[in-house]
Structure 1
Amino acid sequence: MQNSILLFFVAMLTGFAFIHLPVAGTIFSGLESTLDVIGIVIAIVFAIVVIWKAVQALFKG
């Protein structure tokens, strides 16, 4: 279970990386708002998963 929590945490960090990805002045500058939305969704989803797994582990014993 520890490896899956680490994987979810890294995925959450990836979401934050998408939010702060510098794309100004590149061919992807038109996708900046889309990448922000994708990053926010990834960060929120995996944060909820990490919290859910922690609560399960807490009540499991």
Structure 2
Amino acid sequence: MQNNYFLFFIAMLTGFAFIQLPVAGTIFSGLETFLDVVGIVIVIIFAIAIVWKAAQALFKG
């Protein structure tokens, strides 16, 4: 697998966008909590993926 650090970083930014998405006063206001949870999960998963890939590259030599 290629080193997709940039793709992982963009995915993390997408997670932050889900967290900061202003949906109050729209028809999606009922999904605000769900979007926050999805955003938090996305950020955590891709942050772990970046750290994992960096640790692999560091210890690989």
> Shorter-normalised TM-score: what interval?
over 0.9
Which structure 2 residue ranges, 5 or more long, are not aligned? none
Show CA shifts across 1:9-54 (max 9, x none).
Answer: 1101100110000000111000000000000000000000000000
1:5 aligns with 2:2: no
Q: Could you state the TM-score of these two structures normalised by the residue count of structure 1?
A: 0.94
Matched positions, count: 60
Q: Work out the percentage of aligned pairs sharing the same amino acid.
A: 73
User: Where has structure 1 moved over 4 Å in runs of 4 or more?
Assistant: none
- State the TM-score, normalized to the length of structure 2: 0.94
Point out where structure 1 has 5 or more consecutive residues left out of the alignment.
Answer: none
C-alpha RMSD over aligned residues: 0.8
Code of the aligned partner of 2:42: I
